[in-house]
Amino acid sequence: MEWLVIVLYGVTLLIICLFSLGQFNLTWHYLKAKKQIEETSEELFEYPLVTIQLPVYNERYVVERLIDAVIKIQYPKDKLEIQILDDSNDETVQIIEKKVNEYAANRWNIQQMRRPDRVGYKAGALAYGMERAKGEFIAIFDADFVPNPEFLIRTLPKFRNEKVGMVQTKWSHLNTDYGSLTKIQAFWLDAHFTVEQKGREHAGSFINFNGTAGVWRKVCIKDAGGWQYDTITEDLDLSYRAQLKGWKFVYREEIESPAELPVLIPAVKSQQYRWNKGAAETARKTLGKVLTSNIGWNHKIRAIFHLLNSSVFLLLLIAAVLSIPMLYIKEYNPDLALVFDLGSIFIIGFLAMGFFYWVAAKATHPEYTFRYFIKNFPIFLAFSMGMALHNSIAVVEGYLGIKTPFVRTPKFNVQSKGDSWKGNQYLSQVLTPVTFMEGLLSIYFIYGIFSGFKLEDYGLMLFHGMLAIGFAYVFILSVKPMKYPS
């Protein structure tokens, strides 16, 4: 049993280290990409017909903001088609109808499209709209986004290359400084939308459409098999199918598309659940096709890390739970000390991950990089650890093919600390066994801290401390009553 614990602990740490080295490789490519001079001021000389799709489901608090922002996009009115793919069953329907009538009266080509049923959720809505779309290109925005007026005139020039099937822009944030949760999310998302996406593009490896704030060539969607809803991350699924067909994707870091970050833990959890489970579902569906494709092995390795990235939460949870028994195995088996000492090599993985986020912090906050990084990196790590149980369950369900309903992320229309979500009809605070397990795990890792003192083995003290804080933080936010800003 002791050797089973040792081997499982060692294997999980080794794989986590490999994922971290994968991030280091992307960081190296990102830094090389930043040294290259890239033409970003291309002009748009022709104006192809563009369809803008707005998939909406019960978004009464933000849908007007979205529609008004789309109308302000700088593009010839006669070359623009706006589809509001409305699956709502509340007063959002009437709000959209009023807005559509208002803009249609001013000769905008704008439609509220309602399906007879909600089959396939967002993917089904996008497929329904595409069948009726007239545009050569399709831009997609989720309800929490506020598109930049120059979005189309800055993205469409990249499609002069006929092999380009999709252009993705960088997400920026409307409410980063609202609270600790929004700051943590911004810290992580900024790293994805700088180092990770640009690094993959520079390496010539697969990148992904992020579900919103991007433009597709319609024939690319069709050639890849269209929108499919056998996963809950239809964006990642279609991205891989399209690139396996030979289509090229372009990432535009310099074009920002502002969006609202969730401000409450139930909303964050629903979003994280969908992203992590959907990634596992897509890996289950696509990984074999990637491995048998004719792309280079370097690209296959990056694709493996990309598709399996959500598994890090499961590996982290296993390593964390086993780390306390490991303390006692080490104490009562001094002959195994060398085995444990070899574990220090995994500090390389931590340093690689730290470098990844340091470069991202430098790219997004060049004026005060050190202060921003030191303040946010430890908080981000603790929170990620605290989400390990919740996200691991999502990952396991994805790999096992367990189907669950699509859970939307509630929107608040909250941008500053004075904004209130009081009376928001989409909020729900449901306490589950997982929530109480998070509380118990916090106590478990506090016990790990005491064990370190008892055994005079302080090597895992910081690790256990961050785990205890992370699980306690997530647990407390999940159980405390929601308080509304005044």
Q: What is the rounded distance in angstroms from the CA atom of residue 64 to the CA atom of residue 72?
A: 13
- The label of the residue with tokens 């789309």 reads 70
Rg (CA), the chain: 23
SS3 55: strand
SS3 319: helix
> E strand or H helix at 316, and its extent?
helix 311-332
Two structure tokens written together for 180: 């600790």
Q: Over the range 211-221, which residues count as b (16 or more CB within 10 Å of their CB) and which as e?
A: bbbbbbbbebb
**Across-strand partners of 185?**
none
Non-local (6+) Cβ contacts of 270 within 8 A are 407, 408, 409, 410
Catalytic residue flag (residue 235): yes
Cβ contact 82:110 at 8 Å = yes
Phi, psi of 214 (to 5 degrees): -140, 170
The one-letter amino acid at 123: A
Kind of pairing between the strands at 110-113 and 164-173: unpaired
Non-local (6+) Cβ contacts of 310 within 8 A are 275, 276, 277, 279, 280, 283, 391, 394, 395, 398
What count of other Cβ atoms lies within 10 Å of the Cβ of residue 161?
10
Q: Point out the catalytic residue in the list 87, 142, 144, 190.
A: 87
Inter-axis angle of helices 180-191 and 347-364, nearest 10: 100
CA angle 96–483–385, rounded 5-degree value: 95
Cβ contact 209:378 at 8 Å = no
> E strand or H helix at 125, and its extent?
helix 121-132
Question: What Cα–Cα distance (Å) separates residue 304 from each residue in 93, 237, 349, 382?
Answer: 42, 14, 18, 26
CA angle 28–29–33, rounded 5-degree value: 120
SS3 227: coil
**Quick one: how far is CA 390 from the chain centroid?**
15
Phi, psi of 15 (to 5 degrees): -70, -40
Catalytic residue flag (residue 457): no
Two structure tokens written together for 321: 């739970």
Q: Point out the catalytic residue in the list 86, 144, 235, 237.
A: 235
Two structure tokens written together for 471: 């699980």
Catalytically active residues, by annotation: 87, 235
